[in-house]
Amino acid sequence: MREAVGSCVAKWRMKSSSVLIGGEVTQVAFFLFNTASGSMDSCLMIWSMRPQMRAYRLVGHKDAVMCVQFSSSGHPVASGSRDKTVCLWVLSVKGESTVFKAHTATVRSVHFSSDGQSLVTASDDKTIKVWTVHRQKFLFSLSQHINWVRCAKFSPDGRLIASASDDKTVKLWDKTSRECIHSFCEHGGFANHVEFHPSGTCIAAAGTDNTVKVWDVRMNRLLQHYQVHTAAVNSLCFHPSGNYLITASNDSTLKILDLFEGRLLYTLHGHQGPATCVAFSRTGDFFASGGSDEQVMVWKTYFDAADYGEVLKTHKSGANVDGTRHSLVGQHARIT
């Protein structure tokens, strides 16, 4: 079968050994040829797609790493943990980091503003906090959620913050006034993840009710509703073009949605168990996924070359992508 939309080009396994402790992959992030992953083993991994380049294991958190994010320049890298702290890492042989206690409970989400000057964090303490990256100065807290906050993201222009919570709402906040300007309540379960469209005009959210919803943040109305998974949707990410959305689910699959057509475009299989996270590279040429099978997989996209007639025909016939995978074993350095 032709590789029309995506094929796996790299696979890293967080297997148990004296170097890699292992654990469910909680989040993945991209910067150029580097992929960062957090996992339940309390470590942050930085993987390189370049041949012969070593992978780095960053040790600093005292409990599971729940989230990871590169700044727009690639430095620093932020991670949040069940130990209630946020680490800002400088990627070097020394693996230096600045650690600060950000919340009174698990930190579920970290996200840099597009200018790299601000950081927003979300926590099981039901709050969202905004910090300066320089000197990690606390700026303000947003606290209208009534249950765990799973995710918080800046809009591309930095004016808005979107948050997703176990209170089944997705909230939109004005960063300047620090007020909640709208609550989206259409989810029938917990809201696991939220993401801004590259244009900043809409948001997408993933829920435990197996659905993905897309809202217009100018009109505060539901634009699209997808029920393509058979289990909770854990993560999603817009392609940089804004034309596609990829999702990861407990049903072990990744789904690629065509937002222009408003339909499921393709299903990808690769993880043996729940797919917990997914992220596109900034150019959109690749995307990474992580799962409870302790694997990080990097996939090549073929959107520009795809013959959509063939793609849709293949999809309707029930075929799925399960691309050729190459296992890459890096040289792992323990950095403390």
CB 79 within 8 Å of CB 38:
yes
Between CA 324 and CA 166 the distance in angstroms is: 37
Rounded to two decimals, the pTM is: 0.85
Give the integer Cα–Cα distance in Å for 305 and 186.
36
Q: What is the DSSP string of 194-217?
A: EEE-TTSSEEEEEETTS-EEEEET
Give the domain ranges of the chain.
Answer: 6-335
Element containing residue 81 per DSSP (H, E): strand 77-81
Q: Judge whether 187 and 169 are in contact, CB under 8 Å.
A: yes
DSSP-derived letter for residue 104 is: S
How far is 132 from 6, CA to CA, in rounded Å? Answer: 37
Q: How far, in Å, CA of 171 to CA of 309, rounded?
A: 38
Pairing of strands 55-59, 138-142: unpaired
Kindly report the number of other CB atoms within 10 A of residue 137's CB atom.
10
| One-letter amino acid for residue 247 of the chain | T
Say how far apart CA 178 and CA 37 lie, in whole Å.
Answer: 31
CB 119 within 8 A of CB 86: yes
Structural element, H or E, at residue 166: none
- Residue 213 and residue 185 in contact, taking contact as beta carbons nearer than 8 Å: no
Tokens of 329: 């074993």
Give the residue among 162, 141, 159, 160 at the shortest CA–CA distance from 150.
162
pLDDT of residue 307: 41
6-335: what fold?
Methylamine Dehydrogenase; Chain H (2.130.10)
Which of 154, 268, 289 lies closest to 217 in space, CA to CA? 154
| Residue whose pair of structure tokens reads 């989040």 in the numeric block | 27
pLDDT tens, residue order, the chain (336 aa): 233 455 555 554 443 222 233 689 999 999 988 899 999 999 999 988 877 777 888 998 999 999 999 998 888 999 999 999 999 998 766 667 899 999 999 999 999 999 999 999 999 999 999 999 998 999 999 999 999 999 999 999 999 999 999 999 999 999 999 999 999 998 899 999 999 999 999 999 999 999 999 999 999 999 999 999 999 999 999 999 999 999 999 999 999 999 999 999 999 999 999 999 999 999 999 999 999 999 999 998 877 544 433 433 333 333 333 332 322 222 222 222
Residue 53 carries which DSSP code?
Answer: P
CA-to-CA distance for 175 and 173, rounded, in angstroms?
A: 6
Only one residue has tokens 């980091």, namely: 97
Q: Which of 167, 239, 231 minimizes the C-alpha distance to 204?
A: 239
What letters, b where the CB count within 10 A reaches 16 and e where it falls short, cover 64-85?
Answer: bbbbbbbbeeeebbbbbbbbbb
